[in-house]
Amino acid sequence: MKIRSPIVSVLGHVDHGKTTLLDNIRGTAIAHKEAGGITQHIGATEIPIKVIEEICKGLLEKYSIQRIIPGLLFIDTPGHEAFTTLRKRGGSLADLAILIVDINEGFKPQTYEALNILKMYKTPFVVAANKIDKIRGWKAHKNSSFLETFEKQVPKVQQSLETKIYELVGSLHEEGFNAERFDRVTDFTSQVSIVPISALTGEGIPELLTLLIGLAQQYLKDQLTIESDSPAKGTILEVKEEKGLGTTLDAIIYDGVLKQNDKIVLLTLEDVVVTRIRSLLKPKPLEEIRESKTEFKRVKEVVAASGVKIVAPGVKDVIPGSPLRVAKDENLEDIRNEIRKELEEVKIETDKAGIVIKADTLGSLEAVIKLLKEETDVPIRVADIGDVSQRDVIEAEVSKNTDEIYGVILAFNVKILPSAKTILEESGVKVFSNNVIYKLIEDYVDWMKEIKE
Ligand code: GTP
Ligand code: NA
Ligand code: MG
């Protein structure tokens, strides 16, 4: 038994500062000369507890927070889509999340989008109210705790920050959350903490990290207890071509151990693929990357929780969001069937009348279906991964004969193939296309209302 690092997803509206926050945490770590202590991965950054302790500068002691977890595994998300990919069946892959909001801009479409995803998967989160250094008149105190820097601001600036925080409290309230500035929170299980920070100056980051460590250890201990020598379980974040390596898989391992030569089972659009790991790659610590041209370092194994790049033959058609399981000869069939079931649980194919849904990843398809079911009682005829094809148009056209509002394709983050375009107009099928899930559903719901009037 072992306690693994919690997986912390960072999400929020575009340019609200997700990557800068992680850069700051990593940068601080480099400044502290923790070479080798930090592993950065495309999308995943492992921050050891020692580095966090240094950033927190005594706050862990001040609040009597023990150090049980080995660190935090951060996942940076571009917009929201990666996060929906980052889920495993029965819940989200993220144990915890940071919802970043630019304090000067407040809630924006992707903020709501992210919040909806957190709600859907019941992921505990804290709100980082970012860019406090941009508040008019703010005097920055680099890497200082929020409470210290706040005390040093003039009353007018303090008031300005309070007003902006209460706007966030209001926005969260409208979405059904009881939120407060972190130092006024009385019950961490029922209230959402807002931590004012600057990803640029580092202000407030000590409290943000202290809070994450505290929450993880107090409320997620069972969830974080794993078998460290059992076969790995993970999720594929991205499938991408890498120069000289061919198709590689960026994965998050959330349970067990993954070894070179392990036989792994993954999902493709059509079925399941079984392959053997040729090599496991971890990016070198930041300083080493600067010095040498080779970005990756080969490792023999990785233990949860960690991010890793996998090189293996025959993985070109693996779908982002696919589960990853290690199989032995004796349980290969069982695992193959389990993995296959994951796709079948999300994929829908019936001959009943209903709409067609197409999405880019397993996670996003699941999220679209979930949200549609929450907002409407419209039946689904086809739900699948991939671009909108001629066949999809025909399926929707058939449904349209039953009810006009079924003659619809919801397309999330996918293209409409040229062959589909040629028959679309004549078919009278309506395509809703959006890369914001809740907008996609909203547009469809609004259109239905119009039709019914
Ligand atoms: P996407 O990944 O594109 O969704 O954006 P992001 O949320 O990762 O934002 P990013 O970190 O790229 O920051 C966007 C811009 O805001 C950059 O120019 C940052 O330098 C700036 N920025 C981020 N955080 C802060 C902050 O705390 N203060 C100030 N002044 N600028 C910030
Ligand atoms: Na950006
Ligand atoms: Mg970013």
Do 355 and 378 form a contact (C-beta atoms < 8 A)? yes
Ligand at shortest distance from the CA of 13:
1
CA of 158 to the centre of ligand 1 (A): 23
- β-pair partners for 318: 268
Question: Would the CB of 133 count as within 6 Å of ligand 1?
Answer: yes
Do 128 and 98 form a contact (C-beta atoms < 8 A)? yes
Which positions of the chain have pLDDT values less than 50? Answer: 28-42, 80-83, 85, 87-91, 287-292
434 membership: H or E segment, kind and range: strand 430-434
For residue 79, the model assigns a pLDDT of 54
Query: What span, in angstroms and rounded, lies between the C-alpha atoms of 395 and 198?
Result: 50
Question: Would the CB of 134 count as within 6 Å of ligand 1?
Answer: yes
Count CB neighbours of 116 within 10 A: 20
- Closest ligand 1 atom, residue 132 Cα: 27
**Helical axes 437-452 vs 362-375, angle rounded to 10°:** 40
CA of 104 to the centre of ligand 1 (A): 13
CA of 333 to the centre of ligand 3 (A): 40
Query: What span, in angstroms and rounded, lies between the C-alpha atoms of 177 and 126?
Result: 11
For residue 97, the model assigns a pLDDT of 93
For residue 260, the model assigns a pLDDT of 97
Do 97 and 11 form a contact (C-beta atoms < 8 A)? yes
Say if strands 246-255 and 301-303 run parallel, antiparallel, or are unpaired: unpaired
Cα distances from 95 to residues 7, 8, 92, 257, in angstroms, run 5, 6, 7, 19
SS3 category, 260: coil
Do 360 and 414 form a contact (C-beta atoms < 8 A)? yes
Do 397 and 344 form a contact (C-beta atoms < 8 A)? no
